[in-house]
């Protein structure tokens, strides 16, 4: 193969610039594709998430599955952190309590909470009353 054309300084600069631009584009594509998706949580404000499934596990324990905004959304909760859930007790007063979801960010489109409901629990009352289609106010991470 005849590479004499590479002996010209202008051609060498052009080839060098072309290789550098190609390297930058490949690096940018890699960084963009490997970027972690932004979570749906807001640490300052409560956001509403729709209950899409409720599965009774025992007489006082249920698994609640909540829908995220899109099928590819993630909750965005770092390991070791929890969320704050807001509801109403049996007297209609606001209650806020921390919970840790049983799902990870690799579970896209939804998150789950496994809740033990106590007879006199203030937030337990709210979870007992939740039906599919209702919304839960959540903020975090905490």
Residues of the binding site: 98-99, 114, 116, 123-124
> Binding-site residues for FAD, please?
98-99, 114, 116, 123-124
Q: Return d(Cα 79, Cα 99) in angstroms, integer.
A: 13
8: phi then psi, degrees, rounded to nearest 5: -80, 135
Query: 82-121 in b/e burial notation, b at 16+ Cβ within 10 A?
Result: ebbbbbeeeeeeebebebebebebeebebbbbebeeeeeb
Q: Return d(Cα 89, Cα 67) in angstroms, integer.
A: 23
> The tokens of 19 are what?
């290789």
- List of residues 6+ apart from 81 with CB closer than 8 A: 140, 141, 142
**DSSP structure class, residue 133:** T
């Amino acid at each position: 193969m005849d590479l004499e054309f590479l002996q010209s300084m202008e051609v060498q600069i052009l080839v060098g610039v072309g290789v550098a631009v190609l390297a930058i584009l490949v690096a940018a594509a890699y960084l963009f594709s490997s970027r972690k998706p932004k979570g749906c949580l807001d640490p300052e404000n409560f956001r509403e998430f729709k209950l899409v499934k409720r599965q009774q596990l025992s007489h006082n324990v249920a698994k609640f599955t909540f829908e995220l905004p899109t099928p590819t959304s993630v909750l965005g909760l770092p390991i070791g952190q929890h969320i704050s859930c807001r509801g109403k007790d049996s007297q209609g007063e606001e209650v806020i309590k921390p919970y840790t979801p049983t799902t990870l960010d690799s579970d896209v489109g939804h998150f789950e909470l496994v809740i033990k409901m106590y007879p006199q629990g203030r937030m337990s009352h709210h979870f007992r009353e939740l039906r599919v289609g209702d919304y839960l106010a959540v903020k975090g991470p905490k």
